[in-house]
Amino acid sequence: MIEAKGVFLRYSEGTMALKNINLKIEAGELIYITGPSGSGKTSLLKLFMGVEYPTEGALEVLGQSMNKNQYAKISQLRRSIGPVFQEFRLINGRTALENVILGMRFLDIPSGQLKVNAVNAIKKVGLEHKAHSLVENLSWGECQRIAIARAVARKPALILADEPTGNLDKDNALNILELLTSFKDKNTAVVITTHATHLIERDINARYIQMSKGSINYERLGIAINEETIL
Amino acid sequence: MKKLFYNLSYFIKEAKTTIKLNAMSNFFSFLSTGLIFFILAMVISGWWISNQVVAAIQGEAEISVYYVERIDNIGAAQLVERIKGIDGVRETRLVNESEAYRRMVEVLGKDARVLEYFDENPFSPFIEVKIQIEEMSAVLRELGTISGIDYVRDNREILDKIQNIAQILKVIGYLVITAVGITTLVIISHIIRMGINDNKEQINTLRLMGAPEGFIGFPFLLEGLTITIGGGVLASALAAVALNYVYAQVAGPLPFIPLPSREDLTSNLIVLIMSLSAVLGIAGSIFGLTSAKRN
Ligand SMILES: Nc1ncnc2c1ncn2[C@@H]1O[C@H](COP(=O)(O)OP(=O)(O)OP(=O)(O)O)[C@@H](O)[C@H]1O
Ligand SMILES: [Mg+2]
């Protein structure tokens, strides 16, 4: 599903954000990416979405090799991804429902199905009573849920959630994580970045990747990495 | 294509939102597009009308030969025969005073009352000579050698004048078309870029979710089209009113000017303006979209 071989990412103004990333993610996996601020979690997701390209190394996402000058193909690839952005990127002036529908309009979904899918997704995140509210009137946690609904309504092969627990209290953060992980199935991989190592369940079916200064520091299956285990 | 269709109401809504966001700029763009299209419409109708007049006058190829007063009817009849013999003359006919008078009454219509102020018929008899247009100069030269001819009224001078006007209007027409084209493209591409700029966040989000450029750009294309088509409609309406007015002014007092039919002229003009506005709207929007993408 995702395969990175010796991937480096250097931003144009010089920061080496990722160093020698080797990583393989299979369909149906649940991946937690943790690490301190600035360790390169968002940068890694940006590579997966084709927002940035490897400066060095080879990266393939859903069968598409991620190179510059392939914009049309990368755009196509993005249609198979359900992104949950760190700052949501919901579209103001529109209701929650409209936002979720908008994420599907350019996919191969029959027009009659758009609203049904959107309503279902909003139900799954438990916000049917807010479906017709403008997104700028929603709380932080509600926005997070609508952003998740928009991502999953697209029936993506890959869900990429960047810091979905940020700015949420513990209960809400746990709810969001539980919600996101519930979308993992045999065809859908879920990748979640988070600072909140203490909240991650010790899910035996999950893989935990610890990043530090642009490198994968630690990677293991089944057991969450706590700050202690790193040191 | 199917996608385009089922998303059409979304696209229209988007275009509306974008227009509302910069309502003032969009309104003034519409207004200025309408006015420059109107100027274009006026120049083009002037050009068409003068062409038509030239063609009509050329088609007539007729000169009037006035002869000196001492020639009587018999002399006139001889003159007619003589002229008929000239190469290039197709037909000759003697028009006597009363027929000349009758013709003028016909031409003037209800304004013929002015003729009542004359005590006697002010018109002279003349010989109407239909000629082959290419032979005009030769015929005129030949007529110059015949004695008894007072003067010859040909329409060459007026023809030349109108032809000149048509020529000038044609050149102005091309210039104005170019100016209108450039101005419209600049106005529309700027307004589109402005819209794109104001929607940058949203556009980026859509791109991140894999929306094709066509999907992202279509509402802006609609915005550009709305402005130019609106401008085209405004220009067409103004042009129809203006032509109506001009015809009312010209057709009454100057009925002998062979104007093209107003309905034909107006409908041709509307077809031209509307197609031009559609083409320029699409071109301007695509221009704006591609130039915004580069940044
Ligand atoms: N667009 C950019 N241009 C230049 N440098 C960048 C850019 N984005 C990120 N960086 C740098 O790359 C490094 C990794 O940033 P990244 O956003 O991937 O970290 P992160 O792990 O997501 O952090 P956080 O937990 O705070 O979200 C940082 O040093 C950051 O300053
Ligand atoms: Mg980040």
pLDDT per residue as tens digits for the range A196-207: 777 776 666 788
Counting every residue written for chain A, the total comes to 231
Q: Is the pLDDT of residue B269 over 80?
A: yes
Q: How confident is the model at residue A228 (pLDDT cuts 50, 70, 90)?
A: very low
Say what percent of chain A tops pLDDT 70: 94
Instruction: Name all residues whose Cβ lies below 6 A of ligand 1.
Output: A 11, 13, 15, 17, 35, 37-43, 163, 195
Distance between CA atoms of residues A69 and A47, nearest Å: 14
- Chain B contact present for A79, CB below 8 A: yes
Residue B252: predicted pLDDT: 66
What distance in Å separates the CA atoms of residue B30 and residue B50, rounded to the nearest whole number?
Answer: 30
**Nearest residue, CB atoms, A78 vs list B17, B201, B208:** B208
- Pairing state of beta strands A158-162 and A189-194? parallel
Q: Residue B294 has what pLDDT? A: 60
Residue B198 makes CB contacts below 8 A (sequence gap 6+) with: B18, B21, B22
Cβ-in-10-Å burial (0-12, 13-18, 19+) of B145 comes to exposed
pLDDT of residue A219: 76
For residue A195, give the ligand 1 atom closest to its CA. Answer: 25
**Whether pTM exceeds 0.90:** no
The C-alpha atoms of residue A100 and residue A121 are separated, in whole angstroms, by 8
Domain boundaries, chain B: 2-57+161-294, 62-154
Atom of ligand 1 nearest to the CA of A44: 18
Residue B295, SS3 per DSSP: coil
**Can you tell me the mean pLDDT for B113-136?**
81
Mean pLDDT of chain A: 89
For residues A157-182, average pLDDT:
88
Structural domains in chain A plus CATH codes: 28-54+64-219 (3.40.50.300)
Question: Taking Cα atoms as reference points, which of A198, A147, A210, A203 lies closest to residue A173?
Answer: A198
Q: How far is A23 from chain B (nearest CA, A)?
A: 23
SS3 call for B65: strand
Cβ neighbours of residue B131 under 8 Å, at least 6 residues apart?
B61, B62, B63, B88, B89, B90, B139
Kindly tell me the sign of the dihedral angle through the C-alpha atoms of B273, B274, B277, B280. negative
Inter-chain contact A91–B205, Cβ cutoff 8 Å? yes
Do A106 and B211 make contact, defined as CB atoms within 8 angstroms?
Answer: yes
Residues in chain B within 8 Å Cβ distance of A102: 10, 206
Chain A contact probe: residue of B2, B208, B209 with most A CBs at under 10 A: B209
User: For residue A40, how far is its CA from the centre of ligand 1 (angstroms)?
Assistant: 6
**Could you tell me the pLDDT band of residue A46, with boundaries at 50, 70 and 90?**
very high
Q: How many CB atoms lie within 10 A of CB A122?
A: 24
Task: Find the range with the poorest average confidence among A135-139, B153-157, B165-169, B259-263.
Answer: B153-157
Q: Which CATH architecture has domain B62-154?
A: 2-Layer Sandwich (3.30)
Of the CA atoms within 13 Å of residue A162, those in its CB half-sphere come to 20
